[in-house]
Structure 1
């Protein structure tokens, strides 16, 4: 029964994940977050008086911000050129994620009729993003050209289609396309579709776009998420090791 659960039992479950299964802190935190959420809603809905997971100890999870990066400017440009030379669908896919910062699920959901409207002199893409949030995104000329080329003579329906079957593209097909294009472009990094969104955010910051405007463009609900990219892109350039090495150069 739900009301019979106690916090020490959940603590033992956490220790089991760590010691018996050998799960990483990230995996353990993921499992325990699900448990906390379950009992939290059970409390809210009146099935139990108090959640036994309220004070459950969570493992510390550290993020290496220097890895929160995707492709640099030259690599992203190379990938875009490779996609354009490959196929109109490849070009549209990479453009949506690398030049607009769309998530892969959002890119695959774009319909031709979603970007036919003009607002304040700009063609715009209207879409529903993560969490059901509506978004209106202006389309620069290079982006619009890539989308129109993929649409061809079609006036409605899914924009991105699989090259061989002609069926609507899904996340798996998009991931395979990105991997194929990266290999063709000679990019050795392990790049996923979401890495292109990372690349977009980093490109915005490197181009001098203010942090607040980048947050709006990336549709980050929390400014701290955007700030991670800003810190990460200079972690190595501004690292104290360079200053110390220069300081000791004359004495060592």
Structure 2
């Protein structure tokens, strides 16, 4: 951005830190294990903050928590959801943490800022019941091999859409008798999951049509990689065809939420669902479980039933 002040430090091995703030951002991103989607989101968030500073003639390296507060209140006035504002500030905070480690700033101004409250027990993602997922899969099966394979993998494994579209044919394999898929999870962590028989069969049927050459697993008619936006549109179209309510508000993430809810309803332990979903914090997994407040699952019933059994012994 023209007019942005250079970072006033010389850091051995990082020549880009002599340039404007945009170059600093690229160095920061290059030093993070991030998916390309997350990298792009962080870049947008930091550039949004830098744009705001530039418009006010403010050197971002001299910004205080008062400036960050003013920025956050402006975002809220657009209005943006509290979760969106919090995410943007998180990206900016990470950028300042990087500069702090390099001693390019004396403090992280986001640290003392008034961040919006986020209800960690709530998610804005529209969920799906197990029956609605079944209906979505039925429509996907009728829409062709590629569509069926993509929706089945999302439904059966609960993958993030970025993980799905990032798959290559070489990521499919076998391990100790299990059909498997390997992928890069959130934070750049390598992960692997077992394919269900249904997902494996759907993928085999799709590969017969696609062909076995290397490259992206899910490809367009022109041979390019299917992007996340196409999957968003696909989920909503299939949901509308299946007569699912709020189809226009659904997303691939709705299937991820349904995965967690159904797994817990079927008695899968929380820690196993957490591991499958790649969550670092079990509270995140609980937030995905839409049925967690169902009174039928109240442990009081289990305790009372055990007391009755003891009394009758």
Query: TM (normalized to structure 1)?
Result: 0.82
Equivalent-residue separation in structure 1 for 2:294 and 2:148 (angstroms): 32
1:35 shift after superposition: 3.6
Name which of structure 1's ranges 190-199 and 66-75 shifts more when overlaid on structure 2.
Answer: 66-75
1:159 matched to 2:217? The reply is yes
1:229 aligns with 2:285: no
How has the CA–CA distance of structure 1 residues 121 and 182 changed in structure 2, closer, same or farther, with 3 Å as cutoff?
same
Partner of 1:30: 87
What residue in structure 1 maps to residue 24 of structure 2? none
> Counterpart in 2 of 1:99?
156
User: Counterpart in 1 of 2:99?
Assistant: 42
- Greater length-normalized contact order (CA 8 Å, ≥ 6 residues apart): 1
> Which sits farther off after the overlay, 118-127 or 32-41?
32-41
Moved more, 49-58 or 175-184: 49-58
> Gaps (5+ residues) in structure 1?
241-252
Aligned to 1:56: 113
Structure 1 residue matching 2:157: 3-state secondary structure: coil
Q: What does the per-residue CA deviation read over 1:164-216, in whole Å, with 9 as the maximum and x for residues that have no partner?
A: 54532111111121111111111122211111111111121122111111111
Q: Distance in 2 between matches of 1:43 and 1:61?
A: 26
In structure 2, what is the equivalent of residue 205 of structure 1?
264
Candidates 255, 265, 269, aligned match of 1:196 = 255
- Give 2:68's aligned residue: 10
Q: Return the offset for 1:94.
A: 0.3
Select 1:79's aligned residue among 133, 136, 140.
136
Q: 1:183 to 1:4 in 2, by over 3 A?
A: closer
SS of residue in 2 equivalent to 1:137: strand
User: What are structure 2's unaligned runs of at least 5 residues?
Assistant: 1-58, 299-313
In structure 1, what is the Cα distance between the partners aligned to 2:297 and 2:200?
40
CA distance in 2, matches of 1:23, 1:221: 27
Question: Following the alignment from structure 2 to structure 1, what is the Cα–Cα distance between the partners of residues 74 and 179?
Answer: 55
C-alpha displacement of 1:43: 1.6
Question: What's the TM-score once normalised by structure 2's chain length?
Answer: 0.67
8 A Cα contact 1:69 1:202, kept in partner:
no
Aligned counterparts of 2:168 and 2:123: Cα–Cα separation in 1: 35
Alpha carbons of 1:33 and 1:139: their partners in 2 closer, same or farther (altered >3 Å)? closer
Tell whether the 8 Å contact from 1:105 to 1:171 is kept in structure 2 after alignment. yes
Q: Tell me how large the CA RMSD over aligned residues is.
A: 2.6
The count of aligned residue pairs is 236
Matched, 1:137 2:193: yes
Q: Does residue 119 of the first structure (1) align with residue 175 of the second (2)?
A: yes
